[in-house]
Amino acid sequence: MTKRIFRSICLAALGVAAAAVVLFLLVLYDYFGGVQQQQLQMQTELAAQAVTNEGITYFDGLNSEQYRITWVAADGKVIYDNRSDSAAMENHLEREEIRAALLTGEGKSSRYSDTLMERALYAAKRLPDGSVIRLSVSQHTLLTLFLGMLQPICFIIIIAGVLSLVLASRLAKKIVEPLNALDLEQPLSNEGYDELSPLLHRIDSQQRQIKRQSEELAQKQKEFETVTENMTEGIILLNTKGEVIGINRAALRLFGADTAALGQHMLAINRSPQITELLAAAAAGRHAEKMLDIAGGRYQLILSPVNSGNVPSGAVLLVIDATEKEKAEQMRREFTANVSHELKTPLHTIAGSAELLANNMVKEADKMAFYQRIQAETQRMIRLVEDIIRLSHLDEGADDIKREPVDLLALAAETVKTLQPAAAKAQVSLTLAGEAAVIEGIPPLLQSIVYNLCDNAIKYNRAGGSVAVSVTRANGTVRLSVADTGIGIPAEYQERIFERFYRVDQSRSKELGGTGLGLAIVKHAARLHGAEIELKSAANAGATVTVIFPV
Ligand code: ADP
């Protein structure tokens, strides 16, 4: 801007200087032309007077270098000329000034020379005898005047140029100074040109609008970040080139990336074929889903294209941890297979025995044994089905079951009482000790915990062994402990015995009427009470299972 103002001022100043010089020359030329013409006329008057009085003798000894004097007869023939030979001169009757003088008594004219460098001024006067005396003087033309004055003109132009350069530079700076000093942060506080006022008001209103909009944007961004940062699912925003323009903490953690991932291509973060296929889908504006194994987990990747109008503007990649889901799926499959397998054996036994009996193929003496086997297998199936039903209830969450204050000691006493006959049969002493301890719980589930633990302690015991049940309170917890002197559980099986249908010794468990679901039910029921299970055992050294309930 300064440059433009500077240039304009310079041009204007130079233009004015040039115009002034031209006008000055014109006025000067016109003025001196007029003066010269007057002088010429006066001289012509004088010469006419002299020639009238003295005749041709006037010209003798006349020394006139400045003027050309010509005496022309009334018929146009040149009688005398002080510059040329009059005899050789052509007839002057057609000359403008001569003709005018012959007609009116006086005449004047001017003519340019061939080079245009000079102009001749003529003045003529008729003498009383009808002849005409003509004087002529040469005058420089405007061009000659200009060329003659070129040096001073150049000098003036140079001075004017330098002056205008200096002034223009100062002026330009001065004009721009208030503009440079504008405080655009507070446009209305500026004092300067009135002409800027509408602009400053406009800037002020736009600034307020921008501030409001950026505040709204920041708020939305913050809300978005708060939501996405606290999500357990990973979220990645991609642009049309497949570059990451947004990524939440969960996604960073999953892909083992850091914040430098922002701006990188998605393939730089994960090169798997699934990601490549998802990016291809994003480029085609398609929704796509893939499963991907990352760091020992299984993840579901859901890609949704984002369009603004009809133009694709990127994609959102959602990463959902499907490890648990997958595990649950696997467990369900195994459970179904196990259940069918567990039910098949007793059913086959029952069906086989029943068929033999129906076809009368069993000796009378053996019939009782067949009936007892059918009964035992049916009992086993009933227990199995009951356990499955109990487990599936627990699987559904059992959240709706009412919790109530339960005295664990009283509840254990009841169960111990029910199991006394079984203990006696196995020649195992079953005792209960401890103090009353009330917890908030679900009585049937607590009962299955005590029942299953005591049942195992009796089943996997030896004749003459013992089972000691105790309920104690310690450090804000209630501990239910079942200790036996039985066969014990080798360390390598201790993790697995809580799995469904897992048994250390298949045949022994089945022989003793075990379903393989007892400890799974205990684990599940304990979890629903927020309780922890502790197992201390070794092969042939008995086992102590403790369930620790929070109060
Ligand atoms: P089961 O119906 O077979 O008893 P559980 O789930 O109750 O099923 O127990 C799983 C397995 O853990 C049992 O088959 C047995 O091998 C082992 N087990 C459980 N409790 C004891 C214990 N007190 N002493 C020794 N082994 C045990």
Q: What are the mean pLDDT values of the chain's consecutive 10-residue runs (551 residues total)?
A: 83 86 87 88 91 86 82 90 85 90 91 74 92 88 80 86 87 84 81 82 92 94 87 92 92 88 92 94 92 90 90 91 88 89 90 95 94 93 91 78 91 96 96 95 93 96 96 94 96 93 89 90 93 95 96 86
Q: Is the dihedral of CA 95, 101, 104, 110 positive or negative?
A: positive
CATH of 2-148, one of 3.30.450.20, 2.60.40.10, 3.40.50.1580, 3.40.50.2300: 3.30.450.20
Phi and psi at residue 471, in whole multiples of 5°? Answer: -125, 120
Residue with tokens 């502790």: 534
Q: Which residues line ligand 1 (CB under 6 A)?
A: 452, 456-457, 460, 484, 486-489, 497, 502-505, 509, 514-520, 543
Domain residue extents for the chain: 2-148, 231-321, 323-396, 403-551
- Alpha helices for 93-246 (secondary structure H): 96-104, 142-148, 150-180, 197-229
Helix (H, G, I), strand (E, B) or coil at 61: coil
CATH of 403-551, one of 2.40.240.20, 3.30.565.10, 1.10.1760.20, 3.40.1710.10: 3.30.565.10
CB of 30 closer than 8 Å to CB of 139: no
| Rounded to 5°, angle at Cα 273 from 269 and 277 | 95
Backbone angles phi, psi at 287, to 5 degrees: -80, 140
Domain 323-396 CATH assignment equals 2.40.128.130: no
Nearest CA to ligand 1 atom 23: 457
**Nearest alpha-carbon partner for 434 in 484, 475, 469, 458:** 469
**Cα 440 to Cα 490: distance, rounded to the nearest angstrom:** 34
Residue 391: phi, psi to the nearest 5? -65, -45
What pLDDT score does 115 carry?
Answer: 62
> Which atom of ligand 1 is nearest the CA belonging to 506?
14
Q: Please name the residue that has the structure tokens 């055992």.
A: 537
Protein residue closest via CA to atom 7 of ligand 1? 518
Give whole-number Cα distances, 77 to 59, 91, 92, 123, 200, in Å: 17, 5, 6, 17, 86
Measure the N-to-C terminal CA separation of the chain; round to a whole number of Å: 81
pLDDT at 113: 67
* CA 500 to each of CA 205, 413, 506, 521: distance values in angstroms, whole numbers, following the listed order: 71, 27, 13, 8
Apex CA 503: angle with CA 499 and CA 508, to 5°?
160
User: CA of 424: how far to CAs of 55, 459, 470, in Å?
Assistant: 187, 11, 19
The bridge status of strand 118-126 relative to strand 532-537 is unpaired
Count of other CB atoms within 10 angstroms of residue 369: 12
169 alpha carbon to ligand 1 midpoint, in Å? 102
The per-residue pLDDT for 122 is 92
231-321 with 403-551: one CATH topology?
no
CATH of 231-321, one of 3.30.465.10, 3.30.450.20, 1.10.3720.10, 3.40.220.10: 3.30.450.20
> Looking at ligand 1, which atom is closest to the CA of residue 516?
8
Q: How far does the centroid of ligand 1 lie from the alpha carbon of residue 293, in Å?
A: 35
Sheet with strand 543-550: strands edge to edge: 429-434, 466-474, 477-484, 543-550, 532-537
Q: Mapping DSSP to helix (H, G, I), strand (E, B) and coil, where does residue 293 land?
A: strand
Joined together, the tokens standing for residue 335 give: 């459970």
Q: How far is CA 464 from CA 96, 450, 467, in A?
A: 168, 21, 10
The helix/strand count (H/E) of the chain reads as: 14, 17
Per-residue tokens: 389: 């039903």
- The residues, any chain, with a CB within 8 Å of residue 349's CB and separated by 6 or more, are 373, 374, 377
Find the 428 Cα to ligand 1 centroid distance in Å. Answer: 17
Q: What's the gap in Å between 503 CA and the centre of ligand 1?
A: 6
What is the whole-number distance in angstroms between the Cα of residue 489 and the centre of ligand 1? 8
Residue from 382, 460, 505, 522 whose mutation best tests the ligand 1 pocket (most atoms within 8 A of CB) = 460
Ligand 1 atom, smallest distance to 513 CA: 2
**Whole-prediction pTM:** 0.54
Joined tokens for residue 347: 């059913």
Please, where are the H alpha helices in 55-88? none
